[in-house]
């Protein structure tokens, strides 16, 4: 059973556009929500993370929006660039726990 | 700083063979993890070690064993490989459990025929 559900599976965006990836979870004990970026042949790399005490976190062109009541969170990539083309994974975990539950990934392609 | 390193990068095994995947980190992290990545499944935790001397099962531990050799090294062993273990294996480390970022190695692509 997938603890974190991610959509869409793939996404094609024009350069300069906004990429939006959505995730949903059921376990209300989750309180740490990171996003990872993975390029082909590489390991995932932490991109940005949020805790549920804030509704939004922004780092450069990357923003996480968090809706605690809906148990959903999303990644927005503003002014998407071809270099952003990668697979993005959302994840969730409980405070102090070692289990990080990943979504199934979104393959983003940004076309020039 | 090499970060998290994994060996080998690629491996082909026959059903029933055994092998050990090696992982080392040079960031003085306390916690280390082994994941497998399969198409359409995301990453799933196999085993983790919260600190030197401890190991615990993750989501999918069956068919695997681990050893936390010291603070730097965490190995994953397949005693009798099966085709269902064909996957990409990632090692990761973090300063502590839970809410700190996990740093991933480059992965080992394993094929079991």
Per-residue pLDDT reduced to its tens digit, B17-51: 999 999 999 999 999 999 999 988 889 999 999 98
pLDDT of residue A99: 81
Which of A43, A46, A49 is the mutation pick for testing B, counting most B CBs within 10 A? A43
pLDDT of residue A91: 94
pLDDT of residue B46: 97
Q: Which residue has the tokens 């990545």?
A: B37
Q: Which residue has the tokens 């959903």?
A: A72
User: What average pLDDT does chain B have?
Assistant: 93
Above pLDDT 90, what percent of chain B?
A: 83
Dmax over Cα atoms in chain A, in whole Å? 42
The verdict on A107 touching B (C-beta cutoff 8 Å) is no
pLDDT of residue B99: 57
- Left (φ > 0), alpha (ψ -120 to 50) or beta: where does B42 sit? left
Q: Are strands A101-102 and A86-94 parallel, antiparallel or unpaired?
A: antiparallel
- Nearest chain A residue to B33 by CA distance is A98
Q: Report the alpha-carbon distance of residue A65 to residue A24 in Å, rounded.
A: 12
3-state helix, strand, coil in chain B (%, to 5): 5, 50, 45
Q: Which of A32, A101, A104 sits opposite B98 (nearest CB)?
A: A32
Q: Which residue has the tokens 């990409």?
A: B88
Above pLDDT 70, what percent of chain A?
A: 100
Q: Report the alpha-carbon distance of residue A28 to residue A67 in Å, rounded.
A: 12
Q: Do B43 and A34 touch (CB under 8 A)?
A: no
pLDDT of residue A95: 75
Q: Report the alpha-carbon distance of residue B93 to residue B78 in Å, rounded.
A: 20
**Residue A88 confidence (pLDDT) above 60:** yes
């Amino acid at each position: 059973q997938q603890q974190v559900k991610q959509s869409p599976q793939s996404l094609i965006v024009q350069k300069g556009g906004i990429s939006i990836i959505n995730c949903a979870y059921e376990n209300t004990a989750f309180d740490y929500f990171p996003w990872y970026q993975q390029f082909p042949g590489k390991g995932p790399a932490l991109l940005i993370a949020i805790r549920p005490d804030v509704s939004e976190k922004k780092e450069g062109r990357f923003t996480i929006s968090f809706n605690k009541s809906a148990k959903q969170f999303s990644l927005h990539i503003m002014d998407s660039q071809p270099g952003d083309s990668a697979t993005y994974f959302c994840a969730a975990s409980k405070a102090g726990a070692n289990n990080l539950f990943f979504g199934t990934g979104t393959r983003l392609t940004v076309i020039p | 700083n090499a970060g998290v390193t994994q060996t080998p990068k690629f491996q082909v095994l026959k059903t029933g063979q055994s092998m050990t995947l090696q992982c080392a980190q040079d960031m003085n992290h306390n916690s280390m993890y082994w994941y497998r990545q399969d198409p359409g499944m995301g990453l799933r935790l196999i085993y983790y070690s919260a600190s030197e001397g401890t190991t615990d099962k993750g989501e999918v531990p069956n068919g695997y064993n681990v050893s936390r050799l010291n603070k730097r090294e965490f190995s994953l062993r397949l005693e009798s490989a099966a085709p269902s273990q064909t996957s990409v294996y990632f090692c990761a480390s973090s300063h502590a459990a839970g809410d700190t970022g996990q740093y991933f190695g480059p992965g080992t692509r394993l094929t079991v025929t």
